[in-house]
A and B are shown apart, each in its own frame.
Chain A
Amino acid sequence: MRQVAFSGDLQRNLQTIIARTYVRIVGSAREPSWLLWDTVLPMLTLSAYVYVYKVMNAPREFTGFVIVGGAMIAFWLNILWDMAAQLYWEKETGNLEPFLIAPISRMAMLMGMAIGGIFNTTLRALGIFIVGALVFQVEFLIADPVAAALVFALTFASLYSLGMVFASVFLMYGREAWHTSHLLQEPIYFLSGFYFPVKFLPFWLQVAASVIPVTFGLDAIRKILILGAGLKEVSLHVIVLTIFWLVLLFMARWLLQYMEDHGRREGRLTLRWQ
């Protein structure tokens, strides 16, 4: 009997993941202007940074560092706004109640958002890579495709697990969390070295940056894509990213449950425009 129930739960949660992924992808396709907003226009800011490096006569790989950082910004923004803040948006538009009433795992719902988000954002990131390669002649030296796939997978896994942790906060808080998401943009771009290798930061800032998974993911991706590194050179990154992923996934599960219970007790789950 218990086995049948488990099988039913598993099937339902898999359907939840597929359904939420579907909504995410179809929703994006319904507003094709994102191609301009999310791919072409962000390249302009990146181009400004590329020109600064050109003015400073920096070596060519720094252009590649900026392009890779720009592509990763697309994922970071997706996590902040389309993953973490999404539960706040669902609450504000009245969709959160049906989600919570449905006999589905919150993590399955968030995983659907994550997979849809990764799909959409990968298209955007590819656009940035292609424009970077065509316009700024960035050379991508992928010597070890297996290491590249592993590092990308672990970076996404840890980042989207972090997104689930953030999402739990949005179950309880409203505009406070919304503004905190804003705060997690430029300060994180700076600390995690989105536009320059993090090794140039002072030591104490590097220590602070090491608690952010994207710092390790970005550094490893740059080494693999721009400097042609293999698995051996990024083995430490792989270990740290794996630890981040497991810890954050566990934290997300616990926090989602805790925040939901807390939200139920304080009557915040249906509180709009707070």
Chain B
Amino acid sequence: MAVKDIARSFSRSVWLGWKVDANWTDPWLFAIYSVIRPIAGMLIVIFLLLVGSQVGGNTDPEYLTYVFVGNVFFILVAQIMLSMGWVIHEDREHYEVLKYIYISPASFYVYLLGRACSTALMALVSVAISLLFGVAVLRMPIDFLSVNYPALGLSLIIGLVAIASFGMILASVALLTARHGGGMVGEAVSGIFYLFCGVLFPVSVLPAWAQVLSGVLPLTYWMNAIRGSMFGVGPTEIANNLTVLAGFTAFFYLVSMGVLRLADYLARDKGLIDITTEH
């Protein structure tokens, strides 16, 4: 495919994703809906820490900020995985358009990337609002003037490619499985990253075998790079994390392409492209 065609497929699918997600109401109500859920998720964790410190006696304010930042940026992972775990079922069974997307000249991989990008853009708005909410309402000690924005931007770009790659693998699996209630699969899978990538606690707390797993998940380095950028950690440490993140991201990106190709072959072979489940 020519670059122009790829760009057009990508932009159309980003636009489609936005319309599917948002055109059921006016933009303001949609914005409120988009923000309430992540903020409630953040409040769960904040209260978990407050309750934990009350009954356990561990009152480290730095840990609260550590968890806050991890949880806020995890919105990107949760939203993209949720969206990518559901997009196939939605297109195949709900709108019944998957077969038409298949026979269009657009690349299916580019189409899915566009859908992931659309979700990522909306999730980025949720991240920004949650950060502002945390600083303004919850009094989180984050100094926006001392953030290393170039490093943060680079971390976000590479991290989003990594998350989209995992989302692609999830969408590939969805091609081969039947619909599950409400598309909770994405949420369930994002639990892997929630536990093993240092979102809520340093990975050193985990058992040794789990630390090995953390070491091969790119989002562990992504979390380190994000926190480093937010709290003004030295450039060498951020650069080290970004280098490992970039390496793993490239690997998982290639894996996602291979997995999608395999799932696509098997789905066509088994006649699953337009399957509907009525239970």
A interface vs B, CB < 8 Å?
Answer: 23-24, 26-28, 30-31, 33-34, 37-38, 41-45, 47-49, 51-59, 62, 77-78, 80-82, 85, 89, 92-93, 95, 174-176, 179, 181-183, 185-187, 189-190, 194-197, 200-201, 273-274
Contact = CB atoms under 8 A, between A and B. Distances in A.
Interface of B: 24-25, 33, 36-38, 40-41, 43-45, 47-58, 63, 67, 93-95, 177-178, 180-182, 184-185, 187-192, 194-196, 199-201, 205-206, 276-279
Nearest to A191: B40
B130 to A, nearest CB: 12
A187 B52 CA distance: 20
A55 B188 contact: no
B186 to A, nearest CB: 10
Grouping DSSP codes into helix (H, G, I), strand (E, B) and loop, the B interface class, with mixed when no group exceeds half, is helix
B52 A62 contact: yes
A48 B201 CA distance: 8
Given A95-B278, A179-B24, A41 B44 contact: no
**For chain A, what secondary structure do more than half of its interface residues adopt (helix, strand, loop), or is it mixed?**
helix
A37 B188 CA distance: 6
Given A179-B33, A196-B47, 20 more contacts: A27-B277, A28-B279, A31-B180, A33-B177, A34-B180, A42-B187, A45-B195, A48-B195, A48-B199, A51-B205, A52-B67, A53-B48, A55-B58, A81-B184, A92-B94, A179-B24, A186-B38, A186-B41, A194-B44, A201-B47
A176 B55 contact: no
Contacts of A55: 52, 58, 63, 201, 205
Contacts of A54: 205
Contacts of B53: 56
Contacts, number: 156
B184 A77 contact: yes
B37 A190 contact: no
A58 B95 CA distance: 47
A48 B67 CA distance: 12
Contacts of B185: 37
B88 to A, nearest CB: 14
A195 B48 contact: yes
26 contacts: A28-B279, A30-B178, A31-B177, A33-B177, A41-B188, A41-B191, A42-B187, A44-B195, A45-B190, A47-B195, A48-B200, A51-B201, A51-B205, A54-B205, A55-B52, A55-B201, A57-B52, A58-B56, A59-B55, A62-B52, A85-B181, A187-B40, A190-B43, A195-B47, A195-B48, A196-B47
